[in-house]
Each structure stands twice: as structure tokens, then as C-alpha cells.
Chain A
Amino acid sequence: MEENSLHPDKWVDRYADYLFNYTITRVNDREVANDIISETFLAGLKSMKNYKGEASERTWLISILKRKIIDHYRKNNSAKGQAEVKMNFPDSDNEGDWLEEKVADLTDMTAEDQMENRELGLAILECMDQLNEKQAAIFKMKTIDGVDTEAICNEFNISPSNLWVIIHRARTSLAKCLEKNWF
């Protein structure tokens, strides 16, 4: 890769989805996530002259984003006074003493599963960076947003068979990349 430099006009196209996924798995709220991302971009603009080019653009933005997320947690906590810890004690008055209620549900997602899924999502998005922009855009629309084939064809002005070739290529390179980086 050539020397690292910042291109703020391309930030949204390149990193918005990545940052959004990073944030939403941590704050669980679309609006809050969007606010945090826009704050991150603005903070990035303001401190552009401090960017030394040692890290890649993405790493640099992520480091800002992490701070913003921590700030968000702090703000939330000070608003409430302090962190709240909720615990559920079994209440024998209200519920029967069924075994099912006392045994952990194995089908429940554990924290480890969630963490793994979180990392998986980011790994997939990183791999998507290697696709060219048009491929990535079409693939995202089809796979993540579930847009109709026809609608995508109209928007990009391509034929359906063309679309399938593009998606097929995107999937193939994605699979290769994931094989290398994930398994």
C-alpha cells in the first residue's frame, strides 16, 4: 500500500459501514450509533493535522471511534448517577419451582458467541474492502439490505445476468479472503 494519507471525502463510502457495525454491536441503538459515527468523523477532521500516517486511515478512525464510544458510556453513567447492576433472584412467591426456570437455557446466545459474531462481521467487512467499489456496493445491497434484483439492475444500469456474475465474483473472492483470515 502506498503512503497513508487522509481522504475525508471518501470516508463515508469506505468506512461508514464498518464503523457502524463496530458501534452498533456495542451500543445497540441505530440513532446513537449514527450520532457517534458523525462525531467521530468530525473529530477526525478537526485533528487531521495530528495524523502522522503511521497507521492506516481505518485504524486511525477506529481509535477515535473507541474514544467516542467510551465517552458515550461515561455520559450515560453520569446521567444515571452510577452504573446500574441488575440481578434476577428467583422469586418463589410468583413462580412455580419448575426446574426449567432455574436451569440456564442452552439455546441462549452466550457472551462468547456474541463476541465471535461481532468479530466475524468485522472480518467480513474488512474482506469486502478488497472488492472493487461497484462490486462491494452491489453485493451489500443484495446480501445485507436484500434489495430486489430488478431494483439493483435499474440503479446500476446492468442486466440481471451481469448482476449475477458480479455477485458471484464478489462471493468467490470473499470466500477466499475469509478462508485466509477467519478459519
Chain B
Amino acid sequence: MKGISLMKLSCAEAAELCTKAEYKETSLREKIRLKLHLYFCRTCKDYHKNNKKLSGLLKKADLKTCSSQEKEHLKNKIKSEHSQISQQQKKQ
């Protein structure tokens, strides 16, 4: 019976596991289930390929974000400056 439960995986579930696999956070059981599903399902296999491509692109783009600290700092700066400017405009 256990073998059967390993095989039961809908395409929607498989697609989610694909995403999880891109971040290398699938458990062994999930890995086996996904592999089995991809073996049978052409559509999901293509999807898996595209997903991998997307990961590659994301890696290649080498995006960087401002840290939340820097953002907080920027926000405060804008806030104070904004209120200053609007006060000046009121005076005028």
C-alpha cells in the first residue's frame, strides 16, 4: 500500500513540489514522489524544465536588495523631508 501512496500525486501538487525543489527543501519522500510523477507526466516535466530555467535567470540576474534597515532609514528621511516641505508650502 505504501508504494501506491507514493505514486498518488496530482499535477497541481507536483508543480508545487517543483518549486520547492528549486530551493532544495524537499524531503526524501517528496523527492521520490516528484521523480516518479515526472517520469510519467510530460506536462509536468516541461514545467519542471521551465522552472529550472527561471531559477537560472534569477541567478544570472544577480539581483540585490536594499536591506530592511537601509529602507527604514530612507523612509524616515523621506517622511521628515516631506513634512518639512509641505509646511513650507503652507507658509507660502
Q: Are A175 and B78 in contact (CB under 8 A)?
A: no
* Bound complex: CA A83 to CA B47 (Å): 50
Instruction: Encode A138-178 as 1/0 by CB contact (under 8 A) with B.
Output: 00101111000100000000000000110110011011001
Interchain CB contact (< 8 A) of B78 among A42, A164, A167: A42
Interchain CB contact (< 8 A) of A164 among B19, B54, B62: B19
Known: A167-B19, A168-B16. A42 touches B65 (CB 8 A): no
* Bound complex: CA A171 to CA B23 (Å): 12
Query: In the complex, what residues of A have CB within 8 A of residue B23's CB?
Result: 142, 149, 167
Query: In the complex, what residues of B have CB within 8 A of residue A178's CB?
Result: 54, 57
Main secondary structure of the interface of A (DSSP, over half): helix
Residues facing B in A8-37 (CB within 8 A) are 8-9, 11-13, 16-17, 20-21, 24, 34, 37
Query: In the complex, what residues of A have CB within 8 A of residue B20's CB?
Result: 164
Q: Are A117 and B81 in contact (CB under 8 A)?
A: no
Known: A41-B74, A168-B16. A21 touches B63 (CB 8 A): yes
Q: Are B85 and A46 in contact (CB under 8 A)?
A: yes
Q: Are A120 and B57 in contact (CB under 8 A)?
A: yes
Query: In the complex, what residues of A have CB within 8 A of residue B60's CB?
Result: 117, 120
Q: Are A125 and B78 in contact (CB under 8 A)?
A: no
Q: Are A124 and B61 in contact (CB under 8 A)?
A: yes
User: Which range holds the interface residue count of chain B?
Assistant: 20 to 34
Interchain CB contact (< 8 A) of B79 among A9, A20, A145: A9
B15 CB–A CB distance under 8 Å: yes
Known: A17-B66, A46-B85, A164-B19. A175 touches B74 (CB 8 A): no
Question: Which residues of A are interface residues toward B (Cβ below 8 A)?
Answer: 8-9, 11-13, 16-17, 20-21, 24, 34, 37-38, 41-42, 45-46, 48, 117, 120-121, 124-125, 140, 142-145, 149, 164-165, 167-168, 171-172, 174-175, 178, 182
24 contacts between A and B (CB under 8 A): A8-B78, A8-B82, A9-B82, A12-B71, A13-B71, A16-B66, A16-B71, A17-B65, A20-B64, A20-B66, A34-B66, A41-B74, A48-B85, A121-B61, A124-B58, A144-B58, A149-B25, A164-B16, A164-B19, A171-B19, A174-B54, A175-B50, A178-B54, A178-B57
Question: Which residues of B are interface residues toward A (Cβ below 8 A)?
Answer: 15-16, 19-20, 22-23, 25, 50-51, 54, 57-58, 60-66, 70-71, 73-75, 77-79, 81-82, 85
